[in-house]
Amino acid sequence: MTEVRTLAPNVSPCTGVCRMDAASGLCLGCARSAEEIALWREAAPAFRAAVWADLPARFVRLGLTCRRLPWTTGDIRRFVQASLSGAAGTWVVGVVGAVAEFAAPPGAAIAVREDGADLVATTPGGALRLRLDDHVRALRFDPPDTPPGRQRLVLAVLREAGRLPAFAVVADLGPDAAAIAPQDRDHRLYDLGLGRKEARFCVRVAPGPAARALAAAVGQPLAAALPQLGPALLAESPARVVESALGRIEVTTPIPPPGGTSPAGPHTHLLPDHLASGRAMPAGMDLPRAYLPGAIFHPAG
How is the chain split into domains, by residue range? Answer: 89-301
pLDDT tens digits, one per residue of 129-149: 999 999 999 999 998 888 878
**What whole-number distance in Å separates Cα of residue 212 and Cα of residue 215?**
5
Residue 225 and residue 217 in contact, taking contact as beta carbons nearer than 8 Å: yes
Residue 142 one-letter amino acid: D
Between the CA of residue 201 and those of 62, 173, 204, 214, 273, what are the distances in Å?
A: 37, 12, 10, 13, 15
Question: pLDDT band at residue 9, thresholds of 50, 70 and 90?
Answer: low
The confidence score (pLDDT) of residue 163 equals 77
pLDDT tens digits, one per residue of 167-177: 999 999 999 99
Over residues 45-61, mean pLDDT = 93
pLDDT at 194 over 90: yes
pLDDT at 5 over 80: no
pTM over 0.85: yes
Over residues 202-214, mean pLDDT = 96
**What whole-number distance in Å separates Cα of residue 290 and Cα of residue 72?**
18
- The DSSP element (H or E) to which 260 belongs, if any, is none
Question: pLDDT band at residue 1, thresholds of 50, 70 and 90?
Answer: low
pLDDT tens digits, one per residue of 75-123: 999 999 999 999 999 999 999 999 999 999 999 999 999 999 999 999 9
Percent over 90 (pLDDT), the chain: 86
The confidence score (pLDDT) of residue 44 equals 92
**What whole-number distance in Å separates Cα of residue 229 and Cα of residue 43?**
58
Q: Classify each residue of 203-229 as buried b or exposed e, where b means 16 or more C-beta atoms within 10 Å of its C-beta.
A: bbbeeeebbebbeebeeeebeebbeeb
Mean predicted lDDT score pLDDT of the chain: 93
Question: pLDDT band at residue 6, thresholds of 50, 70 and 90?
Answer: low
pLDDT at 161 over 70: yes
Over residues 231-237, mean pLDDT = 94
